Amino acid sequence: MKNSILLASVILASFFAEAQSNSSLDTIFANDQKNVSLFFPNPIRQGIVGSENFVFTYNREKEQYFGLLQAKPGNASSLLIVNSDGSIFSYIVSYKEQLEKLNYFVPQSQSIGFEQPKFTEKSDSTNVANLFTDKTFYYERFCSFLLNRKQRIGSIQKRKNGIVLSLENIVFDKEELYFVIKIENKSTLDYDLNFLDISVQTRKQGKKKSLQRISQLPNFKFNLPNKVVKKEIKRMVYVLPKFSLGNDKMVILELNEKNGERNLKLKVSNNFINNPN
């Protein structure tokens, strides 16, 4: 994971160097009050910001020509856009309270190059094309984006002995469900995490029917801690293959403490699973 981020930084730096050798990078200003719209000559296939205080949103299911930029106060960063034809656009993005421009129509002439690598020699390093289709890299950026959003799916939580387990959001993206989870330690003792599992359970119907539970293996886990110290809050994201549930089923989030008994089971109605954000 760290190697992917390091490699991304190196390649982004090379893009910036190439852009600066051709022409100076333009700066796009944004804030958290208004959407700044960017229209490109070809549909957007990928958009990557270099800092968490900037968010660039675009249609990930159906490629469209425009995306929306928002920013929180903080240091300036970078925005890298890859169009459907492989052309690359790179900008400096900066926070500004008062915006003089809300719409940018980007000509093809502003492209700094194409995604296809110029070298042909064999290399053990991941090339540029592989980087932008790397699933782990996408997971990291999208999960980070979700943790910075204020969107909530409802009030779903379980408390026990000062430990609070909450499901803040469920988001559907590219045939996967993203579970945004929060663990809050309000106790005076640190909480050592043994495991956090997600499973599907069949509701008990009648005395003769037993409960059936099937674990759901995540495709990716983001920001999962080993420990939640006293008075601390940790938020994480589990990425699961898309699924839906009938009325006789529910999802169970099970939080288990290592060498302790502060264990929680959070029940989630099928309605939340079938109607994600």
49 and 83 fall within a common domain: yes
182 and 264 fall within a common domain: yes
Of residues 169 and 119, which shows the higher confidence score? 169
Point out the domain boundary residue: 92, 118, 133.
Answer: 133
109 and 176 fall within a common domain: no
Contact 191, 262 (CB under 8 A): yes
Whole-angstrom Cα distance, residue 97 to residue 102?
Answer: 13
| pLDDT at position 208 | 57
The pLDDT-based confidence of 60 (bands split at 50, 70, 90) is confident
Whole-angstrom Cα distance, residue 239 to residue 252?
Answer: 15
HEC profile of the chain: CHHHHHHHHHHHHHHHHHHHHHCCCCEEEECCCCCEEEECCCCEEEEEECCCCEEEECCCCCCCCEEEEEECCCCCEEEEEEECCCEEEEEEEEECCCCCCCEEECCHHHCCEECCCCCCCCCCCCCHHHHHHCHHHHHHHHHHHHHHCCCCCCCCEEEECCEEEEEEEEEEECCEEEEEEEEEECCCCCEEEEEEEEEEEECCCCCCCCCEEEECCCCEEECCCCEECCCCEEEEEEEEECCCCCCCEEEEEEEEECCCCCCEEEEEEHHHHHCCC
Of residues 132 and 269, which shows the higher confidence score? 269
| pLDDT at position 24 | 39
| pLDDT at position 214 | 84
Whole-angstrom Cα distance, residue 248 to residue 203?
Answer: 5
The whole-chain average pLDDT of the chain stands at 82
Domain that holds residue 206: 157-274
119 and 15 fall within a common domain: yes
Point out the domain boundary residue: 133, 168, 191.
Answer: 133
The pLDDT-based confidence of 277 (bands split at 50, 70, 90) is confident
193-203 average pLDDT score = 89
Residue 198 CB-half CA count within 13 A: 24
- The CATH number assigned to the domain holding 199 equals 2.60.40.1150
| pLDDT at position 267 | 93
| pLDDT at position 238 | 95
Check whether 212 has a pLDDT greater than 80: no
Check whether 151 has a pLDDT greater than 70: yes
CB atoms within 10 A of CB 199: 16
34 and 123 fall within a common domain: yes
| pLDDT at position 209 | 60
83 and 162 fall within a common domain: no
Contact 12, 51 (CB under 8 A): no
| pLDDT at position 174 | 81
Check whether 162 has a pLDDT greater than 60: yes
Say which range, 31-35, 84-88, 219-223, 261-265, has the weakest mean pLDDT: 84-88
7 and 125 fall within a common domain: yes
Whole-angstrom Cα distance, residue 162 to residue 159?
Answer: 7
Burial 40-77 (b: 16+ CB within 10 A, else e): bbbebbbbbbbbebbbbebeeeeeebbbebbbeeeeeb
| pLDDT at position 58 | 92
pTM greater than the 0.75 cutoff: no
For helices 135-148 and 2-22, what crossing angle results, to 10°? 90
119 and 175 fall within a common domain: no
Whole-angstrom Cα distance, residue 257 to residue 189?
Answer: 12
7 and 115 fall within a common domain: yes
88 and 122 fall within a common domain: yes
The pLDDT-based confidence of 63 (bands split at 50, 70, 90) is confident
Q: How many domains does the chain have?
A: 2
| pLDDT at position 265 | 94
Of residues 16 and 26, which shows the higher confidence score? 26
| pLDDT at position 11 | 44
| pLDDT at position 116 | 60
The pLDDT-based confidence of 155 (bands split at 50, 70, 90) is confident
Residue appearing with tokens 């270099």: 50
Q: 180 in a domain, yes or no?
A: yes
Question: If you average pLDDT over each of 13-27, 140-154, 214-228, which comes out highest?
Answer: 214-228
Q: 54 in a domain, yes or no?
A: yes
171 and 218 fall within a common domain: yes
119 and 184 fall within a common domain: no
The candidate with the shortest Cα–Cα distance to 125, out of 18, 9, 13, 7, is 7
Point out the domain boundary residue: 76, 101, 133.
Answer: 133
Degrees to nearest 5, angle at CA 274 with 270 and 275: 115
